């Protein structure tokens, strides 16, 4: 910029036709143009000369993914990981409850969480985001888009999205922050499937990124893993809201029995390895409140 400010420019290229690309541009512009929060990427403007561009503040530290998985850099410190989890939770809570209309991001993942010069996390990339008006319980969308390994089962199998869709993805994000593992790695085993035995058996210390060499806070680890285990529950209605996630992460007293699963929900979904077995068991919300797009 003329004043010396460094910016990030996003060029809209995803759509297959000019008409669809313009529609996607206006949709994303209409979404990010109404949000303002320290943990959400700030839109500075747009440009429609020759092409379609959105202009954002520049995130000088890159993404959480690039910092977490860069083998040539020192491992991300535990304190920073926890602060990133907290800030991202605040930003997501704002999108769900702090805007004029609820915003469902639909693609919460480490590469879409950018870091400022002070390592403050900011949720970015609203290309898949959807408005959810107050009178709607959820909406049905097609086609299914997002990142494999982070998709909630009700969205992956039925195209149903609401705030709990993002909550599920945030749970995967927490496990990635803790473990340093990607949602799906070269072994084709999902992060959720890998984490399942440790969460079930309570051996949560085995989830921690070995590069940290046990340099982490055990109380914070308990809170992160507890929050993650709630977020990735199969049934959307049994997942916490983001304000409840924040209560857990910020040290609030959370009665364990408040989150006990009903007996019929004891068999949990732990990743896409289980989809073929559990597809018929995944609850679908009542059609009385659905909306399509």
Answer whether residue 180 is part of any domain. yes
Distance CA(8)–CA(60), nearest Å, equals 10
Answer whether residue 143 is part of any domain. yes
* CATH, residue 17: 3.30.200.20
Determine contact, residues 145/106, Cβ cutoff 8 Å: yes
138 and 220 both lie in a single domain: yes
* CATH, residue 188: 1.10.510.10
pLDDT of residue 286: 36
Q: For 114-124, what is each residue's pLDDT tens digit?
A: 999 999 999 99
112 and 15 both lie in a single domain: no
13 and 87 both lie in a single domain: no
Which of 101-105, 262-266, 276-280 comes out lowest in average pLDDT? 276-280
Answer whether residue 1 is part of any domain. no
pLDDT of residue 247: 95
Distance CA(147)–CA(145), nearest Å, equals 7
- Into how many domains does the chain fold? 2
116 and 257 both lie in a single domain: yes
pLDDT band at residue 263 using 50, 70 and 90 as cut-offs? low
**Domain of residue 235, residue span:** 64-289
Rg over CA atoms, the chain? 19
Tell me if residue 107 is catalytic.
yes
Answer whether residue 158 is part of any domain. yes
pLDDT band at residue 281 using 50, 70 and 90 as cut-offs? very low
Q: For 209-247, what is each residue's pLDDT tens digit?
A: 999 999 999 999 999 999 999 999 999 999 999 999 999
Minimal CA–CA distance to 220: which of 79, 57, 41, 11? 79
27 and 103 both lie in a single domain: no
Average pLDDT, the chain: 83
Distance CA(38)–CA(88), nearest Å, equals 10
46 and 163 both lie in a single domain: no
Q: For 68-113, what is each residue's pLDDT tens digit?
A: 999 888 999 999 999 999 999 999 999 999 988 899 999 999 999 9
Q: Which of 107, 125, 162, 209 is catalytic?
A: 107
21 and 133 both lie in a single domain: no
User: Quick one: what percent of the chain has pLDDT higher than 70?
Assistant: 83
75 and 18 both lie in a single domain: no
87 and 119 both lie in a single domain: yes
Answer whether residue 83 is part of any domain. yes
36 and 166 both lie in a single domain: no
**pLDDT value at 289 more than 80:** no
Distance CA(221)–CA(208), nearest Å, equals 8
Answer whether residue 197 is part of any domain. yes
pLDDT of residue 146: 86
98 and 118 both lie in a single domain: yes
| Tokens 């559990």 sit on residue | 278
240 and 119 both lie in a single domain: yes
């Amino acid at each position: 910029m003329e004043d010396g400010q460094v910016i990030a420019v996003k060029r809209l290229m995803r759509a297959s036709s000019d008409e669809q690309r313009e529609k996607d541009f206006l949709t994303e512009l209409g979404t990010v143009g109404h949000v303002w929060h320290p943990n959400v990427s700030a839109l500075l403007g747009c440009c429609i000369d020759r092409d379609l561009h959105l202009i954002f503040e520049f995130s000088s530290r890159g993404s959480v993914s690039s910092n977490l998985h860069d083998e040539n850099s020192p491992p991300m410190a535990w304190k920073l990981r926890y602060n990133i989890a907290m800030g991202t939770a605040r930003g997501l809570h704002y999108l769900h409850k702090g805007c004029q209309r609820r915003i469902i991001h639909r693609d919460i993942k480490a590469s879409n969480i950018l870091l400022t010069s002070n390592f403050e996390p900011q949720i970015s990339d609203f290309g898949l985001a959807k408005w959810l008006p107050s009178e709607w319980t959820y909406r049905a969308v097609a086609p299914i888009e997002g990142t494999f390994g982070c998709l909630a089962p009700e969205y992956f199998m039925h195209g149903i999205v609401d705030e709990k869709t993002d909550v599920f993805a945030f749970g995967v994000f927490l496990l990635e922050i803790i473990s340093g593992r990607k949602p799906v790695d070269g072994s084709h085993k999902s992060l959720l499937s890998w984490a399942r035995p440790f969460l079930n058996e309570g051996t949560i210390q085995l989830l921690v990124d070995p590069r940290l060499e046990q340099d982490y806070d055990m109380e914070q680890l308990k809170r992160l893993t507890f929050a993650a285990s709630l977020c990735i529950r199969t049934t959307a209605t049994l997942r916490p809201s983001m304000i409840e996630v924040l209560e857990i992460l910020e040290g609030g007293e959370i009665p364990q029995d408040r989150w006990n699963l009903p007996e019929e929900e004891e068999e949990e979904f732990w990743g896409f390895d289980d989809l073929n077995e559990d597809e018929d068991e995944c609850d679908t919300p009542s059609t009385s409140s659905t909306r399509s797009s």
